[in-house]
Amino acid sequence: MAHPIITLFAPHPHNNHKAKILWPRSIVILIGLFIMGRSIVDITVGLKPGVLGYASQINPDTVIELTNKERLNAGVTTLKYNSALNQAALAKATDMFENNYWAHVSPTGTEPWYFVTGSGYKYQHAGENLARDFSNPADVVKAWMASPTHRKNLLDDRYHDIGIAVMDGYINGVETTLVVQIFGSTQQTSVARIASSNVVSTVLAEEKLIPESGLSPMDLSRAWSLAFVVLIMFALSLDWIFVLRYNIIRISGKTWAHFTYFAALAIILIIIRQGIVL
Amino acid sequence: MKKQNKNIFDYLFLTLISSIAVILILYFNGNKSIQEVIIISFSILYIIWGVLHHAKEHTLETKVVLEYAAFSVLGSMLVMGLLK
């Protein structure tokens, strides 16, 4: 009688020459285990808000600098920091945390322009880019540039002013860092530019990020998913070695194809960056 | 020899699909809805690849299709869990 571990991971006459873990029914069990693990994390987050979280150090100044660098590269005029737009961005970020949402329009129907008007900025054109869970400003701007709609906003030559808010808080019980970027232009742009220059340091000091950084939910999810991928790839490697060595002929899916698919998934799981843009 | 060559092309094609999926995921980093579409498309293409490959080899059976389907459901769930 073969040891259960051997029949689980290696082809053997007792498992019809195919590792039991690679049987479709075992894959269904693995899917169940994966969902169970994820549910435990989700329930923990629900019961103990803040047990998992992600806080980062994103300097709003750098976001503006990188945004302007992209505009210069595209041949568009650079944006000037505007304190009113900055207040609008701060108000939007505060509203998202207070009302527990992640969207351009709040659940009560409040649009971004409400915050722009509320800040006293009389806009002719305005736009908003959102990002969350990024660890550094370069990744935020890179993600916006990779998205056609955000890129269009970022490089729009109708905008002359910019306001940025980076705020740490909790959405759905998970600690997160929000980046709100608001663009605008008004007929009095030159006046706004002059007024803004001395306000930057004060506003940035007020919204200094909390450097506390718990275990990121994404890191935990990544580790959980990678554990399954490694397990499957290990079983596939053993299967491949045994099939080659003992010249096993069987009707089954191609081990090498499964291995290629899971190797690609392993790379994808590693390269997917934290952070969402909206 | 001819059969071996045919298999090499099949595997090269699968490697190409996998590489394109990885490159697209990298390109659209930060845009989770597009990344979801890429993963689902990649997994569907993987099943189609399996069916066509086994049909060509005359080894296509229900349990083989189920195997590819089970692997692709597990694979896409593992990545989608990260995109949630």
pLDDT digits (tens, 9 = 90+) for A85-113: 999 999 999 999 888 888 888 888 888 88
Cβ–Cβ gap B11/A257 under 8 Å: yes
Minimum Cα–Cα distance from B23: chain A residue: A268
Predicted confidence at residue A75, as pLDDT, reads 92
Which DSSP helix (H) or strand (E) runs through A104?
none
CA distance A1 to A14: 8
The Cα of B36 is separated from the nearest Cα of chain A by a number of Å equal to 11
φ/ψ of A177, rounded to 5, equals: -115, 125
Q: What is the sign of the dihedral through the CA atoms of A56, A60, A65 and A71?
A: positive
Alpha-helical (H) ranges within chain A are 4-9, 24-47, 60-73, 83-98, 112-118, 137-146, 148-154, 189-196, 200-206, 217-245, 255-271
Which DSSP helix (H) or strand (E) runs through B35?
helix B32-56
CA angle A54, A215, B35 (to 5 degrees): 60
Predicted confidence at residue A144, as pLDDT, reads 87
Cβ–Cβ gap B27/A31 under 8 Å: no
Average pLDDT score over residue span B36-43: 96
The Cα of A265 is separated from the nearest Cα of chain B by a number of Å equal to 7
Question: Chain B within 8 Å of A232 (Cβ-Cβ)?
Answer: yes
CA distance A17 to A8: 11
pLDDT at B74 over 50: yes
| CB contacts, 8 Å: B66 with chain A | 24
Q: Is the pTM of this model over 0.80?
A: no
Packed helices B62-83 and A255-271: angle between N→C axes, nearest 10 degrees: 10
φ/ψ of B83, rounded to 5, equals: -90, -10
CA distance A153 to A131: 14
**A207 falls in which pLDDT band (50, 70, 90)?**
very low
Which among A91, A80, A160 has a CA at the least distance from the CA of A120? A91
**A38 falls in which pLDDT band (50, 70, 90)?**
confident
- As a whole number, the mean pLDDT across chain B is 89
**A170, A99 Cβ separation under 8 angstroms:** no
Predicted confidence at residue A210, as pLDDT, reads 33
Predicted confidence at residue A200, as pLDDT, reads 32
Nearest to B30 among A22, A264, A276 (CB): A276
Percent of chain A past pLDDT 90, that is, above it, reads: 32
pLDDT at A18 over 50: yes
Q: Which of residues 84-123 of A touch B (CB under 8 A)?
A: none
- The tens digit of pLDDT for each residue in A42-92 reads 777 666 655 555 556 688 889 999 999 999 999 999 999 999 999 999 999
The count of other CB atoms within 10 Å of the CB of residue A233 is 16
| CB contacts, 8 Å: B71 with chain A | 27, 232, 253, 258, 261-262
Predicted confidence at residue B5, as pLDDT, reads 60
The Cα of B2 is separated from the nearest Cα of chain A by a number of Å equal to 19
Residue A185 in 3-state DSSP?
strand
Predicted confidence at residue A12, as pLDDT, reads 80
Which among A199, A228, A221, A268 has a CA at the least distance from the CA of A60? A199
Query: Could you give the count of Cα atoms lying within 13 Å of A272 in the half-sphere of its Cβ?
Result: 29
Q: Which of residues 142-161 of A touch B (CB under 8 A)?
A: 142-144, 146-147
Which among A2, A52, A22 has a CA at the least distance from the CA of A215? A52
